[in-house]
Amino acid sequence: MRLCCVRDGIRILLCGFFLLFWAGCSDEQSAAPASASPPSPAPATKIVIGLIPEMDIFVQKKRYEPIARYLSQKTGAQVELKILSRYGNILNNFQSEGLDGAFFGSFTGALAIKRLGVEPLARPEYEGGVSSYYGMVFARKDSGIKTARDVKGKVFVFVDKATTAGWLLPLYFFRTLGIADYRAWFRETYFSGTHEDAIHDVLSGKADLGAAKDLVFNRLAKEDPRIAAELNILTTSPAVPANTLAVRHDLDPALKKVMQTSLLAMDQDAEGRQALVQFGASRFIETRVQDYQPVIEYAKRIGLDLATYDYVND
């Protein structure tokens, strides 16, 4: 009788040990796939930023690439630059090319704010605390051009109809000279497409007068002393914001915030400072919608309503 009880107890113990062992193996098997195959990370976000052609496109891309790399590193997104063929394309490309942002000039920035609701984030500040620019109308010093009579029958080179320096300023300048219809006054007018080309065309004598922004004029003058020595500034415009990074209004708010914060803090770390040196600026500063008010007021002076102005077909 005692022997049977001992045998029954041993069998019960063995069954208990087996059940515990089986349960442990089952837990390990069910847990193994989770530790062996972690979930794949979500693909990186891509941000496409447009660049206006204020200079040679290869120089333009090389200049902005350090900024794109820095933003990619800081935001975790893949920042891609897209150089546009002309100023006027930048608004259309927001819809047709799927741009997420762009470095807008002052005029295209004002237009994009009015029509697309883009949100400005930041703009570069250059040596001496300069974060704005102004337009210039210039001619060769040996041309003797000073009055409306002097410019009659001459050749004028604009930049593009979507620029403050290369379009709004010249139109206002013509009005101050009493020129109602510049097309009838000049022998020829044309658009160079870039500020650099407008300056070089007047310097070389291809055009008698031209217009461009002072930042490009002064940069080229450092490279070629003939520009300052041989060209005469006839008039200038009010100061307007330098090329500003603005993004579409429906971009992820967290991404917009980290982009702006990263730009504003670039001068505070070694990698950011190196990118700024390559770009040619000291730092980035915050830009707001109200900073474009001078452009809006300047357009009103010459009768342009930015909400309805057709810069493509005008």
pLDDT tens per residue across span 164-195: 999 999 999 998 889 989 999 999 999 998 99
pLDDT tens per residue across span 283-301: 999 999 999 988 888 888 8
Write out the chain in H/E/C secondary structure.
CHHHHHHHHHHHHHHHHHHHHHHHHHHHHHHHHHHHCCCCCCCCCEEEEEECCCCCHHHHHHHHHHHHHHHHHHHCCEEEEEECCCCCHHHHHHHHCCCCEEEECHHHHHHHHHHHCCEEEEEEEECCCECEECEEEEEEHHHCCCCHHHHCCCEEEECCCCCHHHHHHHHHHHHHCCCCCHHHHCCEEEECCCHHHHHHHHHHCCCCEEEEEHHHHHHHHHHCCHHHHHEEEEEECCCEECCEEEECCCCCHHHHHHHHHHHHCHHHCHHHHHHHHHHCCCEEEECCHHHHHHHHHHHHHCCCCCCCCCCCCC
Q: What is the pLDDT of residue 98?
A: 83
CATH, range 135-237: 3.40.190.10
pLDDT tens per residue across span 225-243: 999 999 999 999 888 999 9
Mean pLDDT, the chain, integer: 83
Q: What is the pLDDT of residue 32?
A: 37
* pLDDT exceeds cutoff 60 at 281: yes
* pLDDT exceeds cutoff 80 at 30: no
Domain ranges for the chain, please list them. 46-131+241-301, 135-237
CATH, range 46-131+241-301: 3.40.190.10
Domains 46-131+241-301 and 135-237 share a fold: yes
